[in-house]
DNA sequence: TCCTAATAGTTCTTTTTCTGAACTATTGAA
DNA sequence: TTCAATAGTTCAGAAAAAGAACTATTAGGA
């Protein structure tokens, strides 16, 4: 991928791993069960050389594990690591937003169903470290231990989120 | 941005809007309260010509509203639309993942605090359309009204998510 | 009125990345 | 030992991004 963002920010850091046109599509495939080079290729439309590069990078970043697979030829299996599976929240958020705001109600290509009730999965509640729900409009940003002067200045300007 | 993904998938559709190195960073800035060309420029490090192009695209995509601002020179104010604010879930998911899996506990540059309890915001619960919690490991994918033959074939292969 | 400063945006060149196609390598099975 | 399947490499052309210089617009002040 391109040059990395280098300021202390979790969004920037995350974009350094998944912030390009293809990576989240590869991770979507992994969640769908795809684990072979050729299947990633076929199901996403990425070019071969980019796929090679992206898979290598994702293995290096600890998102995929690569294991030999004795089939025909030189085969490997790519599986999500725990760190990779933890991207499920990003997957779900993007999936929900795309359904709601690009396709719109009644036009979703794929829906997620809650097996227990048969109802559609339909959003998220934020929870705090006690597991209790958080009011999305009452969140404050705080300088963390990994922040620096830039972070402090940045937060000094704005602390309230317009979450809804 | 680059060529668009063209298959019926909410992730692909979302990537067509935010799937590049800079866009989520601009949206982060908007959540932080940034609304002027020069401030986006300064706070992200994007180049001027790309910023112009991205802002135009985001206005076209309905993520930002652009309004005249009488200051000095030819000024505008960029504000998130409701569709843009709805990306808060993506923002929160990326933010949480970056903190947890790139910086790690004790190294977060920025933390989100639940004003009501003072505790850290620490993840998401999925909810169904009744607003009730969903067991993440019990979700099924279903062909939606906007799906096509490709979608059907795709889902036929795998229906269970390895969410954790 | 004219100049200046502030802001936003454009243009242009160079560098980097992506695309797409052809080619190579490895290995199991016939 | 040849063939087919798979993964991966190489390379040329196209597209996008980076970075710097330049232009345009307008408020305010001399």
Interface contact B130-A116, CB threshold 8 A: no
Rounded to whole angstroms, the distance from the CA of residue A48 to the C1' of nucleotide D7 is 9
For the stretch B88-137, pLDDT in tens is: 999 999 999 999 999 999 999 999 999 999 999 988 899 999 999 999 88
Average pLDDT over residues B157-164: 70
Contact criterion met (CB below 8 Å) for B109 and A148: yes
The Cα A11–Cα A14 span in angstroms is: 5
Q: Which residues of B touch A144 (CB under 8 A)?
A: 99, 103, 107-111
Q: Looking at residue A153, what is its pLDDT?
A: 84
Helix (H) or strand (E) run with residue A40 in it: helix A37-44
Interface contact B154-A43, CB threshold 8 A: yes
CA of B64, closest CA in chain A: separation in Å?
14
The minimal CB distance from A158 to the residues B1, B10, B32 is found for: B32
For the stretch B20-29, pLDDT in tens is: 999 999 999 9
Helix (H) or strand (E) run with residue B68 in it: strand B64-69
Average pLDDT over residues A78-97: 96
Q: Which residues of B touch A141 (CB under 8 A)?
A: 110-113
The minimal CB distance from A126 to the residues B17, B92, B155 is found for: B92
The Cα B164–Cα B160 span in angstroms is: 12
Residue A69 has pLDDT above 90, yes or no: no
Q: Looking at residue A127, what is its pLDDT?
A: 93
Q: Looking at residue A1, what is its pLDDT?
A: 60
Q: Which has the higher per-residue pLDDT, B161 or B108?
A: B108
Whether the pTM exceeds 0.85: the reply is yes
Average pLDDT over residues A119-136: 91
Helices (H), A61-160: 82-85, 88-98, 149-157
Instruction: Name the residue closest to the C1' of D24 by its CA.
Output: B74
Residue of B nearest to A28 (CA): B11
Average pLDDT over residues A27-42: 95
A68 touches strand C (CB under 7 A): no
CA of A71, closest CA in chain B: separation in Å?
20
The Cα B14–Cα A20 span in angstroms is: 12
Q: Looking at residue B95, what is its pLDDT?
A: 95
């Amino acid at each position: 991928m391109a040059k990395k963002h280098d300021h202390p920010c979790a969004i920037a850091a995350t974009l350094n791993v998944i912030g390009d046109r293809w990576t989240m599509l590869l991770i979507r495939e992994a969640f769908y069960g795809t684990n072979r080079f050729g299947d990633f290729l076929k199901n996403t439309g990425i070019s071969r050389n980019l796929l090679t590069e992206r898979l290598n990078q994702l293995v290096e970043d600890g998102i995929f594990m690569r294991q030999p697979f004795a089939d025909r030829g030189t085969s490997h299996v790519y599986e999500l690591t725990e760190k990779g599976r933890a991207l499920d929240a990003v997957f779900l958020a993007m999936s929900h937003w795309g359904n709601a705001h690009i396709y719109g109600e009644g036009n979703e290509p794929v829906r997620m169903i809650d097996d227990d009730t048969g109802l559609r999965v339909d959003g998220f509640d934020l929870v705090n470290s006690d597991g209790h729900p958080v009011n999305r409009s009452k969140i404050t940003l705080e300088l963390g231990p990994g922040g620096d002067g830039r972070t402090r200045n940045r937060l000094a300007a704005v602390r309230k989120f317009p979450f809804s």
